[in-house]
Amino acid sequence: MKIQDIELLNFGSLTTDKEEKEINKNSPTGYFLYPTKLKFINKTDKLKGFKGLKFGIEYFIKGHTTSKYDDVTFCCRILHPLLTNPDTKEQFSETIETKNNFLNDTNFDYLFFEFDWEVKKGIYTFQIIEDKRILLEKSFEIF
């Protein structure tokens, strides 16, 4: 295990710059979005759900490294209320993304309620996992 610790830097609602789409079957929408940067606008873990809402976490990955370019593979899992994609009829209660990032660097994960069917009341829990070890967990209540 390369990751020593993960420090939560920020959380809440946010805005992003232009997002690139990458096809991925692990996402309820069928793709993940990748902005180059995001900006937190409200530090809270209780949010009113609506189409267009973006919320998530920013964190720092601390690790033992011999080079500033050492990277690590880990997973971001988001547990959420059951979502059903109306086009594919597939159901999801978690969204899992395998990530690769530099050690001793900042990273982020977020959800974007892009469609009405994604907006569900309940608890949304972001987990950062390396080798089945949960290193960071942050929950949000959507009402």
10-36 burial code (b ≥16 CB/10 A, e <16): ebbbbebeebeeeeeeebbbebbbebe
Predicted confidence at residue 8, as pLDDT, reads 98
Regions in the chain scoring below 50 on pLDDT: none
SS3 labels along 5-45: EEEEEEEEEEEECCEEEEECCCCCCCEEEEECCEEEEECCC
* Number of domains, the chain: 1
Average pLDDT in the chain: 93
Give residue-wise pLDDT tens across range 72-108.
889 999 999 999 999 999 999 999 999 988 788 889 9
What value does the CA radius of gyration of the chain take, rounded to a whole number of Å? 15
- What is the CATH classification number for the domain harbouring 90? 2.60.40.2390
Domain range for residue 81?
Answer: 3-142
pTM above 0.75, yes or no: yes
Predicted confidence at residue 56, as pLDDT, reads 98
